[in-house]
A and B are shown apart, each in its own frame.
Chain A
Amino acid sequence: MLGDKVDSKPHSEGVFTYKDVVNKLAQLVYVKDAAGTYLMVNQAFCDMTGYANDEILGKNDLELGLFLNPEQIMSADKEVIDSGQKKYIPVEPFTDKYGSLYWFQTSKTPIKNELGEVCQVLVISSDITNRIQVEQRLYASELRYKSIFENNYSGIILVNKELDILNKNKAFNRLINSAETVLEADDLKKYITQEDQSDLEDLMTGLVSRNYEYFDLTLDLKTNSEDVINALCFVIGLYDDDGIFKEAIVTFQDITEDLKNRLALEESETRFRVMVENATEALMLMDYDSGKYIDVNRSAEDLFGFTREELLKLKLGDLSPMLQSNGDYSDSSFADKIKKAIQGDSVIYEWTVKRKDNKLIPCEVRLVKLPFEGNRIVRVSVVDISDRKRSEKMLKLEKLKLEKKNEELGTLNQALENQTNQLKEFAYISSHNLRSPAGNIKALLNFYRYEPTKENFNILLEKLEIVSTDLLDTINDLAEAVKIKNEIANDFTKVSLSRLIDKTKDSLSQQIIDSAAVVEVDLNGIDEIKASKSYMESILLNLTSNALKYSRKDVPPRIRISASQREDSLILNIEDNGLGIDLTRHGNKLFGLRNTFHKNKDSRGVGLFITKAQVEAMQGSILVESEPNNGSTFSIKLPKEIIV
């Protein structure tokens, strides 16, 4: 037996016995018989298992429980003994008495007795626990990486320097539209253009020589379905411990859509840029916070006369005069407006801008806040409205002219209508008033012709005398009326109302005394007026004398002459407490010629006719309010302008 042999070998001082040697070994060395009983263990075995030598010897694996699989161990031992062949077990789990797991690499060697029969087995086990643990970790890591590699959304391949694909992931297959499910070796050159290939090869040279350890490039990847994909490749070199290039990992990112989008965006950008550049309105972008223009178009350069570079240096107030046409300060007004725009209002307003050459231009400005994240940007669009303003002004002027003309025409028309009516009225009055005396003359002549006696002749003469005087009076009245009516009074001079009234009172002093009349005057501070002196004298005299003349019997006349100013006129009232006039009956004829309304010897029916004509000649009008036995008020309305 080996144990015995070892033990039995004599050993001298300074010389290790085999037993010593075996006990010093790091490997576990032990011998078991055919029944699996431990015959010998070395020190390392005891150290590893935690058992003393005598605790182990004489027991088998089932009893000791050192292995996770004692039956298997024992049968392996038996197999060695039975076959007589050495057995190598690369990995064998082993536990100590505390249950800790170790991994061993074990060889089992049959030991023959003197008879040449195999009766024992020599087992030598090396602790490979550390190695196994490293391997396991590596394996787990590999698995993880493999999983990451295979399941990555980006296409990833592993290539050598000849661009042969050593490995590729599913994503890459999807990218090149390959139906492959098994990841087979491939050739990258199949999928790229000649041009890209030479570029890639050049770059790979640098990578292999380790001038750089990674690079990227875009290339067109031809797919199995003949499509072309724009791919962004990232290539990283893998080097061994000596720094020698081994492989490269190539990651592909499909940027076809990105590229398409970017191109579309660029195109759209370009279109918009062209549109903005060629817009007729001046467009400027302003950064609200800095108050500076950050972009302007060509029209803005044209409008303001500044170059783009100059405009970008200007602040918001630099393009306006200090004051706007409405008197607002440009700076504060613009600040208010732009603030409103920032709050989201759409702001439109007219604005005077100042060009570089200091020329002022009327413009329409629109402010719109643009949805730029982070920055507060306002689009300022400015349109020159000089032409519009000019047209508006012209139109306004034309309109004013037209309105004035219309007004003139209206006035003229009214005047014409009045004139026509007056003429018609005048024609009737003339006809009537001349017809009466003419008829009388004819009738008188007829009367005499029928009986031409001396007596009748005397009657005729007497009557003709009356008629001719009447006729002459009528003609004179008519002539006077014609004279007044034909001309608008133009001998306007400054006259004092109070003095005119005094003069009237003087002229009528006898009648005033005789009738015990009271004449009150209240001019409300109005005195000097610009009017026709003769007409004003005539009007006052006529109306005042009427008031005295048509007084009630036994009621002393009370006459009140007053003046007042209305919004657009001067009102002159002559009020009395006299007989009054029944206006329902005589209203339409009150101012007619030769119309009398009282049985008064002096009334010829001329005064009011002339008064009215005189008032009208001064652009005025006359009205009357009256009731029988309750006095009359004649109200003269004259244009306010005559008041001095």
Chain B
Amino acid sequence: MRKKIAIVDDDDIFQFTVKMQLEKLGLAEEVMVFSEGQEAIDFIQSADMNELPALLLLDINMPIVDGWDFLELFKNVPEEKQQVVEILMLSSSINPDDVKRAEANPFVVDYVTKPISDAEITKIFSK
């Protein structure tokens, strides 16, 4: 099933390659790209229910509002919106502290290290 996907990452190349990957695999109905956490939160808060992404790929390291900040701000998002948006953390960090922290967060469904392979992305979408 094709979904609306949001990419929250400040890395231009990553935004480009993941967008291409999703389009190639035909998994995304629509790919939204945010270079910064605050932009994504603002969008979610203001968007209608049907505009919300079903899956949000969230990077950790970003300037100003990083991945962790985003998760804090996401607590303030209306519950019905929270239930719609599934968050997948995507990071180059292999620091176990980051992994543990992500797993402990109720909004995060999974933690995946970059780069993400076709197989991994297909598997996530099949859930």
Known: A432-B61, A463-B13, A463-B16. A439 touches B92 (CB 8 A): yes
**Contact across chains for B94 and A428 when beta carbons are under 8 A apart:** yes
**Contact across chains for A447 and B64 when beta carbons are under 8 A apart:** no
**Contact across chains for A440 and B63 when beta carbons are under 8 A apart:** no
- Cα separation A597 to B36 with both chains bound (whole Å): 11
Interface residues of B in 2-24 (CB under 8 A from A): 11-14, 16-18, 20-21, 24
- Select which of A437, A447, A596 is within 8 A of B63 by beta carbon: A596
- Cα separation A428 to B93 with both chains bound (whole Å): 7
B16 contacts which chain A residues (CB < 8 A)?
447, 463
**Chain A contact residues: helix, strand, loop or mixed:** helix
**Contact across chains for A597 and B64 when beta carbons are under 8 A apart:** yes
Known: A435-B114, A595-B61. A440 touches B11 (CB 8 A): yes
- Select which of B21, B36, B63, B94 is within 8 A of A446 by beta carbon: B21
B92 contacts which chain A residues (CB < 8 A)?
431-433, 435-436, 439
A553 in the interface (beta carbon within 8 A): no
Number of A-B contacts (CB under 8 A): 74
Known: A431-B92, A435-B114. A599 touches B63 (CB 8 A): yes
B115 in the interface (beta carbon within 8 A): yes
B91 contacts which chain A residues (CB < 8 A)?
432
B113 in the interface (beta carbon within 8 A): yes
B64 contacts which chain A residues (CB < 8 A)?
597-599
Known: A447-B17, A585-B69. A597 touches B63 (CB 8 A): yes
A229 in the interface (beta carbon within 8 A): no
A379 in the interface (beta carbon within 8 A): no
- Cα separation A436 to B61 with both chains bound (whole Å): 11
- Cα separation A439 to B17 with both chains bound (whole Å): 10
**Contact across chains for A440 and B94 when beta carbons are under 8 A apart:** no
Q: How many residues of B contact A (CB 8 A)?
A: 26
Among B14, B68, B91, which residue has the most Cβ atoms of chain A within 10 A?
Answer: B14
**Contact across chains for B115 and A432 when beta carbons are under 8 A apart:** no
A397 CB to closest chain B CB, in angstroms? 46
- Select which of B13, B63, B68 is within 8 A of A443 by beta carbon: B13
A444 in the interface (beta carbon within 8 A): yes
Interface residues of B in 75-127 (CB under 8 A from A): 91-95, 113-115, 118
B118 contacts which chain A residues (CB < 8 A)?
446
A594 in the interface (beta carbon within 8 A): yes
**Contact across chains for B13 and A440 when beta carbons are under 8 A apart:** yes
**Contact across chains for A440 and B20 when beta carbons are under 8 A apart:** no
- Cα separation A450 to B13 with both chains bound (whole Å): 17
Q: How many residues of A contact B (CB 8 A)?
A: 29
B21 contacts which chain A residues (CB < 8 A)?
443, 446-447
**Contact across chains for B24 and A442 when beta carbons are under 8 A apart:** no
B94 contacts which chain A residues (CB < 8 A)?
428, 431-432, 435
**Contact across chains for A443 and B115 when beta carbons are under 8 A apart:** yes
**Contact across chains for B115 and A439 when beta carbons are under 8 A apart:** yes
Known: A436-B14, A599-B63. A428 touches B114 (CB 8 A): no
**Contact across chains for B115 and A440 when beta carbons are under 8 A apart:** yes
**Contact across chains for B115 and A467 when beta carbons are under 8 A apart:** no
A89 in the interface (beta carbon within 8 A): no
A444 contacts which chain B residues (CB < 8 A)?
13, 17
**Contact across chains for A450 and B24 when beta carbons are under 8 A apart:** yes
Interface residues of A in 439-459 (CB under 8 A from B): 439-440, 442-444, 446-447, 450-451
**Contact across chains for A439 and B114 when beta carbons are under 8 A apart:** yes
Known: A436-B11, A440-B13, A444-B17. A598 touches B113 (CB 8 A): no
Among B12, B69, B92, B93, which residue has the most Cβ atoms of chain A within 10 A?
Answer: B92
B12 contacts which chain A residues (CB < 8 A)?
466
B85 CB to closest chain A CB, in angstroms? 22
- Cα separation A555 to B64 with both chains bound (whole Å): 20
A585 contacts which chain B residues (CB < 8 A)?
66, 68-69
**Contact across chains for B17 and A435 when beta carbons are under 8 A apart:** no
Nearest 6 CB-CB pairings of A with B: A439-B115, A443-B17, A435-B92, A440-B13, A596-B63, A428-B95
* Chain A contacts to B: CB under 8 angstroms: 428, 431-433, 435-440, 442-444, 446-447, 450-451, 463, 466-467, 585, 594-600, 603
Beyond known contacts A436-B11, A437-B13, A440-B17: 10 more, CB 8 A cutoff: A428-B95, A431-B92, A432-B92, A436-B114, A438-B115, A440-B115, A443-B14, A447-B24, A585-B69, A599-B64
